[in-house]
Chain A
Amino acid sequence: MGIFDSTITDADLVAEALAGSERAFAALLRRFERPVYTLVLRMVRDRSLAEDLSQEAFLKAFDRLASFDPERKLSSWLFKIAHNTVIDHLRRREVETSSLDEPFGDESDGPAWTIEDPSAETPEAAAERADLSRALTRAVGRLRPEYRQVVLLRYQAGLEYAEIADATGFPLGTVKTYIHRARKELAGLLSESGWEPTGGAETSRREAP
């Protein structure tokens, strides 16, 4: 069983990395580089900055790997470090994020719903899903920073409400309220861009590319 084998648990990889295995570090990176980079990118909406901050987050995580509790989810731990890294940076530099209308996603990227058999879908269905994906990503970018933060931590990082409260410093009730309001706002933004509540190409206007 190779170290890049997906059946190796995160905790095992951490243990091997702590023992000094560079291949374990590489495997951890391969496993988490996309989720961490995506979270950071959606928070800062700037590819170059996202790369720097993701690197900083991984370096901090690797420095502090010995303090990781194997009973916890490694992804949650990494996402919190990435989130803290971004927030620290934004507080330090008060960086103005890039234009919220500017799409930062690779236009050729398709959504991940078809991972089991991508060849089975029609170009029309793929295009429709890509449209929704872009519209949703753009709508998230239009949210106010607090809402964007909690939405990404909840729905991309998969953190529980209490963990989000812990990571952001917002009271638990505020986190719930923000998430609720953010979803409502996203629904409104999607409707504005032509995505009717019924969904689907036959009832929704496809967004202009």
Chain B
Amino acid sequence: MSQRRSDELYRAFYRSWRAAEREADESGADAAFAALFGGLPLEAPPKGFAARVLAATRDRRGEALSQPAAGRLAAALLALMSLGTFLLASLVVSSLPRLDFGAGVRVFARGLGLTWEWIASGLAFWERLADWSALVARLVVVPAVGASLLASALAAAVAFVLLRRLLAEQGNLTYAEPH
């Protein structure tokens, strides 16, 4: 483009825009102003901008890839927790005869009777409640039962921490959808 031509070009854009505005020529003004404005220099982003965006994109894609893996781990922990619960239930059931299941039934039956008495007297119930608590405490102090409870609680805690982190990450992914 020659010097003369580039001078004329920019002046022509400016003049035709102003003339079109004066003459209320909407489409002419629109076109001339578009040409004039299109000639404005584009601003360069700060140095390293593209590298930073690419690094952030890489991180996000990495996170996106790692999410299914975290999901699988959480699922495995939940399965482990379920298994622990099942084992715990089995242990409790198998422990009951050794803890005199018949006595438990009798306590329960008596408890029912006492409940009626409590309704009548309003006092003796608390003694029976203490008996029941003692029965539960005897179950919990069995080493196998206590260890299973502890293991299940730990597995559940880890699983919930992982799930919470996953949900938080999902919540951070907000998008501006073009309409």
Measured CB to CB, the residues of A under 8 A from B are 22, 25-26, 29-30, 33-35, 37-38, 41, 47, 50-51, 54-55, 57-60, 62-64, 67, 77, 80-81, 84-85, 88, 104-106, 109-114, 116-117, 120-122, 125, 129, 132-133, 136-137, 151, 154-156, 158, 166-167, 169, 179-180, 183-184, 186-187, 195, 197-200
Contacts and interface: CB of A to CB of B under 8 A. Distances in A.
B40 A120 contact: no
Contacts of B100: none
Contacts of A106: 43-44
A200 B177 CA distance: 43
Interface in B134-167: none
A158 B35 CA distance: 11
Given A38-B43, A112-B40, A112-B42, A132 B179 contact: no
B14 A132 contact: yes
Contacts of A80: 178-179
Contacts of B101: none
Interface residues of B, number: 46
B102 interface: no
Contacts of B175: 60, 63-64
A117 B2 CA distance: 7
Contacts of B86: none
Given A25-B57, A55-B56, A84-B178, A109 B50 contact: no
Contacts of B60: 59, 62-63
Given A62-B57, A81-B176, A55 B43 contact: no
A132 B14 CA distance: 9
Contact of B19 (A132, A154, A197): A197
A55 B46 CA distance: 11
A189 to B, nearest CB: 12
Contact of A199 (B3, B14, B34): B14
A111 B2 contact: no
Interface of B: 1-3, 6-7, 9-11, 14-15, 17-19, 21-22, 26, 29-30, 33-34, 36-46, 49-50, 52-54, 56-58, 60, 173, 175-179
A13 to B, nearest CB: 14
A199 B44 contact: no
A53 B53 CA distance: 11
**Interchain residue pairs A-B with the least CB separation, the first 4:** A80-B178, A197-B18, A84-B176, A199-B14
A158 B37 CA distance: 10
A41 to B, nearest CB: 5
A111 B53 contact: no
A53 to B, nearest CB: 11
Contact of A60 (B3, B22, B40, B176): B176
B178 A81 contact: yes
B39 to A, nearest CB: 4
A120 B2 contact: yes
Nearest to B16: A199
A136 B52 CA distance: 31
Contacts of A55: 49, 52-53, 56
Given A125-B6, A136-B40, A59 B57 contact: yes
Contacts of A114: 1, 6
Contacts of B38: 112, 155-156
Contacts of A179: 30
B53 A88 contact: no
Contacts of A38: 42-43
Contact of A167 (B10, B14, B21, B179): B179
Given A121-B7, A167-B179, A187-B21, A155 B42 contact: no
